[in-house]
Structure 1
Amino acid sequence: MNVKLQDGILIFAKRECETCQMVEHVIGQIADKIPTVVYTQDDPSFPSTVSALDDSSLESSFAFDVEAVPTVVRMREGKEVARTFGWSRADWEKLTGLEGLGEGLPEMRPGCGSKSREPGVYDVLRAKYGKLDFKSRQIRLGEWDDEIEACFDRGWSDGLPVVPPTDVRILRMLEGTSRKPDEIIGAVPPNLSPITVEKVAVNAVMAGCRPEYMPVVLTALEAALDPLFTMHGLLCTTCFSSPIIVVNGPVAREIGMNSGINCLGQGNRANATIGRALQLIIRNVGGGRPGELDRAVLGGPGKYTFCFAEDESDPTWMPLSVARGIEPGKNAVTLFQGDGIQGFIDQRSRTPEQLTKSLAMSLLAVGHHKLCEFTNALLVLVPEHYAIFREAGWDRGRITEELHTAMVRPGKDVIQGAHGVGEGVDPRRADEMVNKFWPEGLLIVQAGGQAGLFSAICAGWTGGRFRNESKPVTMEITT
C-alpha cells in the first residue's frame, strides 16, 4: 500500500538487516519531529519505535525503486527531492534537517539489499506492479486450470510440453537482448504474420530457452526469413527437411552449447531449445502446422529441433562461418535446409585419399545415388576423421575440392533408366561428366566426440536443385 505523503520522510527497512536494527531508535527520533511513513519489508512489528506499514508484498518498495535498506526518502509537495541508503549520520541529518541523530552510533555503516531486489523477485514485481506494454494477446486461465495442458489445448505445442509464457518469464527473456520488444523482425511464413522481438521471447520461453540464448534465436529467425532460405517452401514441402542450425563463435561456449560428444543428440539445453524456439515460431506465429500447410509425407525429428555448435578448438580448422564470409572470432549462425542423419562409418581408412573415396561413396547416396545437382549436403566431420586429413596437411579447401572431384561421374551412369533404375538426371546429359553437388553445395562442419570414426551426413532439401533460388544462409549474430 502506497501512502501519499506530501511533505516528510519515507523510510524503508527490514528486521533482518542489522543496520536497520541499529538505527531503530533513530527512526523513532525522526518520526517524533517530522511526518514520517515507515515501510517494513518483512515484519510489521518492526521497528518498534513507530507504527510501520506492512510492505511484505514489496509493492511500495518496488514503486520507489528501493535497492537497499534502510533507505530514507525526502518528500516535498508529493515528490521525491532526495534520498540516501545505509546509515550515514551526516547524510541522514542533512536529508531530515535534524541534528544529533544516532548519538553513540558509528558515523556510517552500509545497509543490506532490499528484498525487492533479491534474485528473481524484481522480475515478479515488474510483472505484478510495473507498467507492462506487452502487445501479445493474454490468455486468462481459471484458478484450477493446468497451464501446460492449456497450451496443448490451444495448439501451441509441437507435441511436447511447453513452458507457459507468463509475464515474468517473458520479461526475463527480453533481458537477453538489447533490441526493443516492439521491433518487427519480419513476416513469418506460411501466413506471413509479422513477428516482433516480444513474440520471439514468448516462443523462446515456451521452448525452454534461457535469456542469454535470445541473440542466437533472433539471428536464426532472421536467417530463416531471408528469401534465399525459402522457409515457406521448406515448410510446405512433402520431403523430410527442416532448418538445421549451426552456431559458430565464442557465444557457443558462453551459453554452453554442445559441439562435442552427442552434439547432434539430446541432453544439451541450448542446442535443444534454440532449434525448438525457431520451430515453435514457425508453428505459432506463421501457422505452419502439420497436416495443414506442413505437408511432409514422413517429416523427421529435426522438425522438433536440430541445432548444434561447431567445434572450433582445433586451430588448423577453418570454421564454417569463416568459410562463408564471416570475420574470424565473430558469432554467427548458419541455417541449412536438411534432413536427418545418415551415418558414415569408416574405421579402416588411414590416408586422406582412402577416406575421401569412402566419404564420396556415402555422399553419392544423398537423395538418390543417381540424383545430381539436386540437393545440397552437410557433412559433419568428427575429430578422428579430420585428424587423418590434418596429418596429411589437408585443410577445409583441399578436403572439399577432393570430395567434389571424387564424386564426378559419367552422365550415362546416372541418367534416368540407367542400370534399370527410373530415377536419375536428364538423359540429354549422357555424354557429360556430372557433379553430385553444386560447387557451393557441400558444407562441412567439424564436431563430435574424440573417440569414434563415425561422421554424419545430412542430406539437403530437394529445393536445392534451384541453385540460385534456395541456399543455406549465414548471418552474424547481433545482441
Structure 2
Amino acid sequence: MSHGVLDDIEKCMESGWTDGLPVIPPYGSLVDPMLEALGWQATDVVGNIPDQSIKVRAEQVAATAVMAGCKLEYAPVLRALVLAILDPRFNVSGVEVTTGGASVLVIVSGPVVAALGFEHEANALGANSRINATVGRFAQMMRLFCGKGGGVLQSHGTVGHPGRLSFCIAEHPQTAWGPYHTQFGLPAEVSAVSVMSSEGPNSCNNHYARTGAAILDTIGDCMLHYGQTAWYYRSSGYLVVIAPDHMALVKSEFTREQARQYLYENARRQTDDLVKVGRIAIPPLEYAEVEFGAMRTPLKTIDQLSFIECGAVGGRFSAVIPRWAGSQNVVCKQIVGI
C-alpha cells in the first residue's frame, strides 16, 4: 500500500468519515462501479429523513459501501438494506441518538445466505467473515452518517453497544420453521434483509433440559430480568435466536406459532415486584396499561416476538436479543437480483 493511500485513510479519519476504524478511501474508481452494481445514478435520492430535512443520495450509499469494505457482489443486499434503514418505520435518527445505545441489527435470510457465503453457524452472532462483518458495518455507517445529519445530532449512548460497529446475523439456509422473513409476510422462497434496532444479545444456557418447554421457559426467564427495557411502555420486543441443539427439542413439541404463544402466555412477572424496584412509574400513564397485583408481560402484542434459526451444533445455547423501545418495527425487504 502506498503512502498516498495511507494518507488518504488518515484524511478520512480526520474528517469524521469513519466509525472509528480505518476505512477504504471512497475513490471515484471504486464508487462508480459500486453505483453501477447498485443500479442507481449518483444523484438519485434513495431515501429521506424528514425530521432532519435530509435526502440520501445514491452516491453517498455507494461511497459508504466502499468505505465499509463491501464487495460489488453484495450490491443487491446493500440496496435492499439501505431501503430498510431509510424506511420511516425504522427511525434511524432515534437509533443514532438514544441513550440506550441501540445498534442496527441486520438479519439476512433465504437462498442469498448460501449464494454469497454468509456465516450462519459457528459464532453466528459475531461472525467475522468478510460479508457478515462488512454488510453489518455498512448498516452502522449508514446509521452514523445519516442519523447525525452532518453533525446536527450526536450519539448519546449511556453505556453503548459493541454492535454499533457491526451486527449482522444470517439464518440457516434450511430451517425447521421456515425462513425468518416469512414472519413478516414474504414468501419462503425469496431472499430478504431485515433490520431492527437492538440491544445486545443475552445468552441462554441450558445443557440438561429434556423438553422443548424447558428450553422455552429458560428463554422466557431471560426476557424477564428487572433491567430489560420494555417493562413500562412495552413498545419494543424480542428476537429469539435458537441454535440447533435447543431447536431439536423445541421443534419436537412446538410449531413456531405455538412457541410464540407459549412465551407470550408464560413469560410474565408480578407487576407489584416491578413497582418495588422502580420499573413502573407511579402514578402510571394510561398508555402503559398497568394492572397492580397482576402478572405483567413485557410484550404489548404477540407480534413483537420473532425467531431466527442459526448457530452451530455442539452446545446447548440460545440467545435473546431485545429490541430498542424507540423503534417499534422490524422492517423486512426482499432482495432482488440474487
Q: TM-score, normalised by structure 1?
A: 0.63
The answer to whether residue 275 in structure 2 is matched with residue 423 in structure 1 is no
CA RMSD of aligned residues (A): 2.5
The answer to whether residue 322 in structure 2 is matched with residue 478 in structure 1 is no
- Partners of 1:198 and 1:209 lie apart in 2 by 15
Match of residue 181 from structure 2: 321
Task: Evaluate the alpha carbon distance shift between residue 401 and residue 210 of structure 1 in structure 2; reply closer, same or farther with a 3 A threshold.
Answer: same
- Matching of residues 195-234 of structure 1 within 5 Å: 195-234=56-95
Tell me by how many angstroms 1:278 deviates: 2.0
Tell me by how many angstroms 1:402 deviates: 0.8
Please tell me the residue identity of whatever aligns with 2:161: G
Q: Percent identity?
A: 30
- In the alignment of these two chains, the number of paired residues is 327
Task: Evaluate the alpha carbon distance shift between residue 311 and residue 158 of structure 1 in structure 2; reply closer, same or farther with a 3 A threshold.
Answer: same
Tell me by how many angstroms 1:183 deviates: 2.1
- Partners of 1:412 and 1:259 lie apart in 2 by 41
Secondary structure, counterpart of 2:136 in structure 1: helix
Task: Evaluate the alpha carbon distance shift between residue 166 and residue 323 of structure 1 in structure 2; reply closer, same or farther with a 3 A threshold.
Answer: same
The structure number with the bigger radius of gyration is: 1
The structure whose RCO (Cα within 8 Å, separation 6+) is larger is 2
Please tell me the residue identity of whatever aligns with 1:476: Q
Tell me by how many angstroms 1:174 deviates: 2.5
- Partners of 1:189 and 1:269 lie apart in 2 by 33
Question: What CA deviation, in whole Å up to 9, does each residue of 1:289-339 have, x standing for no partner?
Answer: 89952111121111111112111313x322220111001111111111101
Tell me by how many angstroms 1:443 deviates: 1.6
Tell me by how many angstroms 1:246 deviates: 0.3
Tell me by how many angstroms 1:444 deviates: 1.1
Tell me by how many angstroms 1:463 deviates: 1.8
Question: Unpaired segments of 5 or more residues in structure 1?
Answer: 1-141, 465-469
Match of residue 434 from structure 1: 296
Question: What CA deviation, in whole Å up to 9, does each residue of 1:31-64 have, x standing for no partner?
Answer: xxxxxxxxxxxxxxxxxxxxxxxxxxxxxxxxxx
Task: Evaluate the alpha carbon distance shift between residue 180 and residue 143 of structure 1 in structure 2; reply closer, same or farther with a 3 A threshold.
Answer: closer
- Partners of 1:363 and 1:262 lie apart in 2 by 22
2:190 aligned residue (330, 355, 364):
330
The answer to whether residue 306 in structure 2 is matched with residue 450 in structure 1 is no
2:222 aligned residue (356, 362, 385):
362
Task: Evaluate the alpha carbon distance shift between residue 180 and residue 437 of structure 1 in structure 2; reply closer, same or farther with a 3 A threshold.
Answer: same
Asked if the contact 2:269/2:297 (under 8 Å) is kept, the reply is yes
Asked if the contact 1:346/1:453 (under 8 Å) is kept, the reply is yes
Question: What CA deviation, in whole Å up to 9, does each residue of 1:324-380 have, x standing for no partner?
Answer: 100111111111110112111111111012112121111112743992525311111
Question: What CA deviation, in whole Å up to 9, does each residue of 1:246-301 have, x standing for no partner?
Answer: 01121222221111111211421111111211222233355368995211112111
The answer to whether residue 268 in structure 2 is matched with residue 405 in structure 1 is no
Please tell me the residue identity of whatever aligns with 1:318: G
Match of residue 287 from structure 2: none
- Partners of 2:271 and 2:161 lie apart in 1 by 32
- Partners of 1:281 and 1:252 lie apart in 2 by 22
Secondary structure, counterpart of 1:228 in structure 2: coil
Asked if the contact 2:100/2:158 (under 8 Å) is kept, the reply is yes
The answer to whether residue 320 in structure 2 is matched with residue 460 in structure 1 is no
Task: Evaluate the alpha carbon distance shift between residue 370 and residue 249 of structure 1 in structure 2; reply closer, same or farther with a 3 A threshold.
Answer: closer
The answer to whether residue 245 in structure 2 is matched with residue 389 in structure 1 is no
- Partners of 1:219 and 1:168 lie apart in 2 by 23
Asked if the contact 1:379/1:442 (under 8 Å) is kept, the reply is yes
- Partners of 2:230 and 2:148 lie apart in 1 by 36
Tell me by how many angstroms 1:434 deviates: 2.3
- Matching of residues 60-71 of structure 1 within 5 Å: none
- Partners of 1:369 and 1:148 lie apart in 2 by 38
Task: Evaluate the alpha carbon distance shift between residue 257 and residue 370 of structure 1 in structure 2; reply closer, same or farther with a 3 A threshold.
Answer: closer
- Partners of 2:235 and 2:178 lie apart in 1 by 27
Asked if the contact 2:200/2:322 (under 8 Å) is kept, the reply is yes
Secondary structure, counterpart of 2:201 in structure 1: strand
Tell me by how many angstroms 1:478 deviates: 3.0
The answer to whether residue 121 in structure 2 is matched with residue 265 in structure 1 is no
Question: Unpaired segments of 5 or more residues in structure 2?
Answer: 285-289
The answer to whether residue 34 in structure 2 is matched with residue 173 in structure 1 is yes
Q: TM-score, normalised by structure 2?
A: 0.88
